[in-house]
Amino acid sequence: MSITAPKQRRSVRHEDDRPRTVWWLHPCYAVLLIGIPMLVVAYLLPESRYLVLYRSLKHVDTSFLIYGLIVYAAFVAGTFAVFGTGARPQWDDVLLYCRAFVWPLFALTVFGYAAWFGYSAALSGFGAVTDALLDVVFARDAGNTSYLKKELLQEISGITTCTQFGILYATVEALLWVRGGSDRWRALSRFALVLTLSLLRALVVSERLALVEIVIPVAIVFLTSGKISKPAYRNLVRFAPVFAGFGVFGLFALGEYFRSWNFYEPIYNGPYLRFAAERFLGYYTTAVNNGAVVFYYEPIQPFRYTLDSLFKFPVLGGAADQFYVNTFGEDYIDYTYLLDTYANPELNNTALIGLLLNEYSLFLAPVAAFLLGLLSVVLYNSFLKGRLVGLLLYPSFFVGALEISRIYYWAAERYFPTLAFLVGSLVLFKIMKVPAADPSEKGPRETLGPAKN
């Protein structure tokens, strides 16, 4: 079996056919506009607000502020390093890859959701699960959210994880669409199903990131595709973060009014909009605060969080964890116990800066941050130049930059399936691919025409 391109007419590729440069897509701006401001806000927020709104002690002091700024500065410095990624776009390879793997990625994603629901229904009964789902979706019983998330929806290690293939699927589907490489109705049907499943997941188990992981890669591919040519639309793209920020906060404030305000109104001293803003910022400030907890109270654990996916890998994870304990000792504190003692275990996200400071110490954490920044800009440049790996990976990798104040997304278990599938599929693609153009041709490659998928 081989992957080949159909014969077609030759068309000339120009430099402006590459993804358009959008200022906010550079990885440094995620740190400058989100990471550093959230660190400063977490530092300035008085402890009384932590106690009332987040039921947590405050641990972000002046020292942690300085350490965090140093780590962020090292990351930003890494994003300005110069590193070559190849000069010529690889649109032929991009289309061949996307056509070959869009259906497998879609099938694996849907299978993951089907297995998740089917396994839960088999354990608790089909009627119990569907009734609880309807209660949550139509707000018939708000108390069912926690029950559904913790009791009814049971995951199968290594199986329900297939839902995370949707991250790469969304990128592949978007690339096919903007390059005219897919049948429109089939593409819309596939994406509508995956988007609906992700939306339900966000609503049912309060996993908003599941929706973000699908929407952000698609938005990046479309906003940089060159399809937007009118000046007014280009200005909209330039200021997209501002509009997106207000939109996200508006939706959050609306939902929070019905979900939390009735409880907090008697004990909160201030107007609702300030309450909503502080609750919204709480997702970030508590993550920064937890980072300080990990840094101050957790013994140094080299590579522990960077290799998190390895330790949670089915079967092999137990052996890897035991090897780690035998190598570095077992004097670390359970993370849930750590938060239960010093913070709030219900708000358990941890900012990247705290994890890097714990893993690599104050002296080596800036080096690790610099390397992460370097990797980010390499993928960013690869994306802008139309290279295969950059186009496939950077749209979802950028989600990690946006979440840098909240979680270590790139090393998280939820991102591992994307990285693993991409590595394996690229190796398979290299083996099976038949060149679509004469290797002696020095000019740009020819365009692949539309094909039904």
pLDDT in tens, 361-380: 999 999 999 999 999 999 99
* Model-wide pTM > 0.75: yes
Tokens of 152: 């009814």
Contact predicate 395/365, CB 8 Å: no
Residue 229 has pLDDT above 70, yes or no: no
In the structure, what pLDDT confidence band is assigned to residue 450 with cuts at 50, 70 and 90?
Answer: very low
Query: What proportion of the chain, given as a percentage, has pLDDT over 70?
Result: 78
126/149 Cα distance (integer angstroms): 15
Instruction: Please write the tens of the pLDDT for every residue from 70-101.
Output: 999 999 999 998 765 567 888 899 999 999 99
Tokens of 419: 């990285």
Residue 12 has pLDDT above 60, yes or no: no
Instruction: Please write the tens of the pLDDT for every residue from 408-436.
Output: 999 998 999 999 999 999 999 988 876 65
310/12 Cα distance (integer angstroms): 45
Question: Cβ contacts of residue 346 below 8 Å, gap of 6+?
Answer: 55
Residue 3 β-bridge partners: 433
Residue 2 has pLDDT above 50, yes or no: yes
Mean pLDDT over 169-198 rounds to 93
Lowest mean pLDDT among 53-62, 223-232, 284-293, 341-350: 223-232
Tokens of 417: 């399936």
pLDDT the model gives residue 358:
93
| Between residues 260 and 171, the one the model is more confident about | 171
| Between residues 192 and 445, the one the model is more confident about | 192
Residue 433 β-bridge partners: 3
Residue 357 has pLDDT above 90, yes or no: yes
Tell me the residue length of the chain. Answer: 453
- State whether the Cα torsion 327-328-329-334 is positive or negative: negative
pLDDT the model gives residue 134:
61
Residue with tokens 């107007």: 271
Mean pLDDT over 8-33 rounds to 73
Mean pLDDT over 337-341 rounds to 89
Fill in the amino acid letter for 353.
I
| Between residues 247 and 351, the one the model is more confident about | 351
Mean pLDDT over 185-202 rounds to 91
Contact predicate 12/446, CB 8 Å: no
pLDDT the model gives residue 439:
46
pLDDT the model gives residue 445:
45
Contact predicate 339/293, CB 8 Å: yes
What's CA 316's distance to the chain center, in Å? 25
Residue 209 has pLDDT above 60, yes or no: yes
Lowest mean pLDDT among 159-163, 195-199, 214-218, 236-240: 236-240
Residue 314: CB atoms within 10 A of its CB come to 11
Angle (CA) 363 369 375, round 5°? 145
Domain boundaries, the chain: 15-298+333-432
pLDDT the model gives residue 266:
79
Residue 147 has pLDDT above 60, yes or no: no
Mean pLDDT over 144-173 rounds to 78
pLDDT the model gives residue 151:
58
pLDDT the model gives residue 451:
46
Instruction: Please write the tens of the pLDDT for every residue from 249-271.
Output: 776 776 666 566 767 777 777 88
Mean pLDDT over 40-46 rounds to 93
Mean pLDDT over 233-245 rounds to 76
Lowest mean pLDDT among 7-16, 203-212, 296-305: 7-16
Question: Cβ contacts of residue 412 below 8 Å, gap of 6+?
Answer: 308, 309
